[in-house]
């Protein structure tokens, strides 16, 4: 396309620099051409939290936040959630295309083949304190798998990468199931590969003394859909960590552990738990109006609304709301649901929220669903990690195949001291550290 360039005039020197525009962006390295003299390092960009920086090219996930669009490999999230299983979507994200019947059967067989954990790994998990939080257990155990499968470090071998990816997708429900049982003080339940992916996960969570666990099909399908919705979401915090660690050519186990560590933060993976706390704070449907009035006056905090990317209704939120209706038909309605529905109704009609583009996001209803299904709030982030592992691994694969990618090494703007004269210990006076 003609005229796809940007001309920048440096008012320090009066010189102009023309740089090409590529897919709506300019390459940051082009700015290095802008110098005051030959010894000048060149211009850099300053972008805290990467609010306006594209660090990679990706063909995995497309998001249009203004229009509320989310697609995996070109397929609308609505279609995938309605028609596919999580393992179908996992195959799509990892391989670029939806599987045919034969490919899906082979993929499922490979997953079920690798669901077991080595007994030494099981013993490793048993060594955690009796009330250990499931998320650090998951992070530590995934990292420890690097010692069980040392061949994983050979990341240049495509077949080896494929094997480790399959192992991780297969074992994440087992690890999370064991961490859940550990927290409750219950014996671990081995995988049952006669069951589907989500049904088997539920079996490892909730099987007691019955000879064969039978999952409620409505709840299993709801969990399957929630896994689909959380499988990938472009360059979020944990994905950025996965790519950064992967850029050093670390093996996938430690890279996924690092990504999961980022996910464990309350600003990333813990938002749905904070929604529940907000709904409890409100207390009842008739108090929603007063809560909203307080928000407008600067009191309280609104959770589950708004998004860094979406400036419209999060497309995942609509699907989650539908899931909630299905789940509550089985579990009975959670009192929080009435509060949530009323809060959503007011927010979608109130100019205060509309002007600020505060629409419900995926976290608004997901926590209510998870709790209705029997999960404690501290386990919500662990549930998030199972499907997101697929997205992390797809991003990791893509990174390794991208010839432009190098080890991640952001620049900084130094704001500290200039050169200082060294003071011997005996001559130093008391000082207050500034860092």
The encoded tokens of residue 155 equal 């990341």
Chain centroid, CA 227 distance in Å = 11
Concatenated DSSP letters of 53-117: ------SSEEEETTTTEEEETTEEHHHHHHH--HHHHHHHHHHSS---HHHHHHHHHHHHHT-PP
Residue 5: its H or E element = strand 5-9
Torsional class of 402: left (φ above 0), alpha (ψ -120 to 50), beta (otherwise) = beta
Burial class, 194, CB count within 10 angstroms (exposed 0-12 / middle 13-18 / buried 19+):
exposed
φ, ψ dihedrals at 241, nearest 5°:
-65, -45
The encoded tokens of residue 140 equal 């530590």
C-alpha dist (Å) from residue 252 to 162, 295, 381, 429:
11, 43, 20, 49
Are the C-beta atoms of residues 259 and 238 closer than 8 Å to each other?
A: yes
Place of tokens 């509309």: 354
What is the set of active-site residues? 268, 307, 363
Residue 410: Cβ within 10 Å count? 10
Are the C-beta atoms of residues 347 and 353 closer than 8 Å to each other?
A: yes
Quick one: which of 280, 301, 272 has its CA closest to 377?
Answer: 272
The encoded tokens of residue 192 equal 């049952």
**DSSP β-ladder status, 75-76 and 16-20:** unpaired
């Amino acid at each position: 396309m003609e005229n796809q360039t940007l001309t920048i005039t440096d008012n320090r020197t009066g010189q102009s620099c023309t740089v090409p525009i590529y897919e709506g962006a300019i390459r940051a390295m082009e700015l290095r051409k802008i110098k005051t003299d030959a010894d000048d390092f060149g211009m850099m960009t300053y972008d805290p939290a990467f609010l306006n920086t594209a660090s990679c090219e990706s063909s995995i996930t497309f998001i249009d936040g203004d229009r509320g669009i989310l697609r995996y490999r070109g397929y609308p999230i609505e279609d995938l959630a309605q028609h596919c299983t999580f393992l179908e979507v996992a195959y799509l994200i990892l391989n670029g295309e939806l599987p045919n019947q034969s490919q899906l059967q082979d993929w499922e067989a490979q997953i079920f083949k690798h669901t077991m954990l080595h007994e030494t790994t099981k013993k490793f998990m048993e060594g955690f304190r009796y009330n250990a939080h499931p998320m650090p257990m998951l992070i530590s155990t995934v990292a420890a798998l690097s010692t069980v499968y040392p061949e994983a470090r050979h990341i240049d071998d495509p077949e080896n990468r494929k094997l480790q990816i399959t192992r991780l997708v297969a074992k994440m429900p087992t690890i999370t199931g064991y961490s859940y049982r550990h927290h409750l003080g219950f014996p671990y339940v081995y995988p049952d590969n006669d069951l589907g992916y989500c049904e088997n996960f539920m079996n490892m969570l909730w099987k007691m003394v019955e000879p064969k666990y039978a999952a409620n099909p409505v709840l299993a399908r709801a969990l399957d859909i929630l896994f689909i919705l959380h499988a990938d979401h472009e360059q979020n915090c944990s994905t950025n960590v996965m790519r950064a660690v992967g850029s050093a050519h670390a093996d996938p186990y430690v890279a996924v552990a690092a990504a999961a560590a980022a996910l464990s933060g309350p600003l990333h993976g813990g938002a749905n738990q904070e929604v529940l706390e907000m709904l409890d704070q409100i207390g009842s449907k008739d108090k929603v109006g007063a809560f909203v009035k307080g928000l407008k006056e600067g009191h309280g905090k609104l959770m589950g609304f708004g998004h860094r990317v979406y400036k419209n209704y999060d497309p995942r939120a609509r699907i989650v709301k539908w899931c909630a209706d299905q789940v509550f038909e089985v579990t009975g309605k959670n009192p929080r649901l009435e509060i949530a529905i009323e809060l959503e109704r007011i927010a979608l009609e109130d100019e205060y929220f509309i002007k600020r583009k505060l629409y419900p996001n995926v976290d608004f209803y997901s926590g209510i669903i998870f709790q209705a299904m029997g999960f404690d709030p501290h386990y919500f982030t662990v549930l998030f990690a199972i499907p997101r592992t697929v997205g992390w691994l797809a991003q990791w694969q893509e990174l390794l195949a991208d010839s432009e990618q190098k080890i991640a090494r952001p620049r900084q703007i130094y704001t500290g001291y200039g050169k200082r004269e060294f003071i011997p210990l005996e001559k130093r006076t008391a000082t207050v550290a500034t860092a």
